[in-house]
């Protein structure tokens, strides 16, 4: 049986931490990196600059056996950078503008895609990328998975709500849900959004409280995290969660199993610095148990 494809559109960048450590990041890239480690064969559509950081990303992708077929190298724009500040492990972000990932070329798009197409909201802060994504969506013959990342000042509610048209699966956190809905109750807000946009499913992460999901049957499924030994930072926890959601959809897991596995993996990611691990064994432990 042919493996369902997973296509990823959006940013790749370096997260710069207070100790001057630079860690590969960007929500879409984190998701693609995790999925590559889980042997899901993701294809990422993004751009880096013609600079040392861009070359490092290409080398890291090669070492991780990630496809670079749809990675563009653009001249005149730097490889993406975000400065991460931590307060008790919780991140805040200073995001550079006019980066390479803001300028993904039209000519790097595939002729046709199917399976699942993942995209977030940050890389759509430019008119250019919104036009590129619109073309990509026309070429896509499968389902859309959107992971909302509201990063001020690079979003507005009207544009986000427009982004939800035609979406099959939506993942966002509880704070983001509150900003998009007039409902005070998170479950009611999720029900309202799911119905309004005729989605198959919506998944809401709730930090230390866990997560809940509404699937095609509208039944509410909840999970709580296991006790975490030590929290390094929460950077990439949501991306880790999204990775396993996509893996579960690709492999037709039950929504309960998918949610449980996503929560367990996200809980593991908060014990490391940054959003992803460069150690294959970190992933194999989970892959073998699944």
CATH value at residue 152: 3.40.1190.20
pTM of the shown model = 0.92
pLDDT of 175 > 80? The answer is yes
State the alpha helices, DSSP H only, in 107-236.
127-139, 157-163, 174-180, 186-196
pLDDT of 51 > 70? The answer is yes
Residue 197, by phi and psi: left (phi above 0), alpha (psi -120 to 50) or beta? alpha
Give the pLDDT band (50/70/90) at residue 81: very high
Residue 223 falls inside a structural domain: yes
What pLDDT does 229 receive? 60
Residue 230 falls inside a structural domain: yes
Residue 10 falls inside a structural domain: yes
Residue 82 falls inside a structural domain: yes
108 close to 82: Cβ distance less than 8 angstroms = no
38 close to 242: Cβ distance less than 8 angstroms = no
Beta-strand pair 211-214/220-223: antiparallel
Backbone phi, then psi, for 29, in 5-degree steps?
A: -65, -40
What pLDDT does 1 receive? 41
State the alpha helices, DSSP H only, in 152-279.
157-163, 174-180, 186-196, 237-250, 255-269
Render pLDDT for 212-230 as a digit per residue (tens, 0 to 9).
Answer: 999 999 999 999 987 666 6
Give the pLDDT band (50/70/90) at residue 234: low
Residue 1 falls inside a structural domain: no
What pLDDT does 176 receive? 93
271 by Cβ neighbours in 10 Å (0-12 / 13-18 / 19+) ranks as middle
Residue 83 falls inside a structural domain: yes
The predicted model gives 248-277 an average pLDDT of 88
Could you tell me the residue range of the domain that residue 232 belongs to?
6-289
Q: What is the rounded CA–CA span in Å between residue 255 and residue 219? A: 10
CA torsion, ordered 209, 167, 10, 76, to nearest 10 deg: -140
Count of the separate structural domains present in the chain? 1
């Amino acid at each position: 049986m042919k493996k369902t494809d997973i296509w990823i559109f959006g940013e790749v960048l370096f997260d710069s931490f207070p100790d001057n450590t630079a860690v590969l990041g960007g929500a879409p890239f984190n998701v693609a990196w995790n999925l590559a480690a889980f042997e899901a064969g993701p294809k990422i559509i993004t751009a880096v600059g013609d600079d040392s950081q861009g070359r490092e990303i290409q080398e890291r992708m090669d070492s991780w056996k990630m496809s670079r077929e749809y990675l563009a190298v653009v001249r005149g724009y730097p490889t993406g950078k975000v400065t991460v500040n931590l307060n008790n492990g919780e991140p805040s972000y200073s995001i550079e503008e006019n980066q390479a990932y803001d300028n993904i070329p039209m000519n790097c798009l595939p002729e046709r895609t199917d399976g699942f197409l993942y995209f977030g909201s940050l890389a759509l802060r430019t008119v250019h990328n919104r036009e590129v994504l619109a073309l990509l969506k026309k070429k896509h013959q499968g389902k859309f998975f959107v992971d909302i990342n509201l990063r001020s000042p690079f979003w507005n509610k009207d544009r986000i709500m427009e982004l939800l048209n035609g979406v099959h699966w939506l993942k966002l956190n509880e704070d983001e849900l509150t900003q998009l809905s007039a409902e005070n109750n998170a479950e009611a807000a999720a029900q309202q959004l799911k119905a309004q946009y005729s989605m198959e499913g919506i998944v809401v992460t709730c930090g230390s409280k866990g997560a809940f999901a509404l699937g095609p049957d509208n039944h509410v499924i909840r999970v709580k995290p296991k006790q975490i030994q030590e929290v390094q930072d929460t950077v990439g926890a949501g991306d880790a969660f999204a990775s396993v959601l996509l893996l579960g959809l690709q492999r037709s897991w039950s929504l309960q199993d998918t949610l449980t596995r996503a929560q367990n993996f996200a809980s593991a990611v908060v014990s490391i610095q940054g959003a992803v691990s460069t150690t294959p064994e970190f992933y194999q432990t989970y892959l073998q148990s699944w």
